Amino acid sequence: DCHNPQKPMFNRAVCPIIDEGGQNVIGAAGRRILEKEYLQKWKYSYGFKSGSNLYGLWFAKQRILETSRVILVEGMLDVAKLHELGYTETVGLFGVNVTPNHIDILNRMGVMNVSILLDGDEAVELALKRNTEKLKDYFNVRALKCPKDKDPDELSGEELKCLLRNN
């Protein structure tokens, strides 16, 4: 019953998490309407592990293969916003950390250029440095940070264009 407030996905926009091959839903995550609180339900069911998957990869795969570039963002709504604005090579990390599995996935796809675009809060400074160190041995890396206290999904098309120029 989707109207039962005792259900974890009540009053949430729910995003399916699809495997790299585009064949299976391996998890789901919900975001409360009008809030920035995430709830990941079925986090490990159906094969979903955040460090082993990139959100939106199935939808971004063709563009990534064509351009050898990727834009990494934190969350699902960031991915949706950038795709909406034409940056269809964008995938989500399910957080701020790049893992060895993420690097393997990008290497398999022949990625050469990585832009990592994280939220504009203080906590991401260390994450940007750490991720740049992890990625620089494999790819050309651009570390980008949103303006203070903004997420990529909150930026205008012009603000994103300015940040991603030359990507």
Please write the tens of the pLDDT for every residue from 107-153: 999 999 999 998 887 778 889 999 999 999 999 999 998 888 888 88
Q: How far is it, in rounded angstroms, from Cα 120 to Cα 122?
A: 7
Tell me the per-residue pLDDT of 18-30, one tens digit each, with 9 for 90 and over: 888 888 888 777 7
Whether the CA torsion 123, 124, 128, 130 is positive or negative: it is positive
pLDDT at residue 8 in the model: 63
Predicted pLDDT at 44: 42
Which range among 16-25, 39-48, 153-162 shows the weakest confidence by mean pLDDT?
39-48
Q: Is pLDDT of 39 > 80?
A: no
pLDDT: which is higher, 39 or 102: 102
pLDDT at 41 over 50: no
Both tokens of residue 4?
């039962």
Distance (Å, rounded) from C-alpha 46 to C-alpha 119? 29
> Beta partners for 38?
31
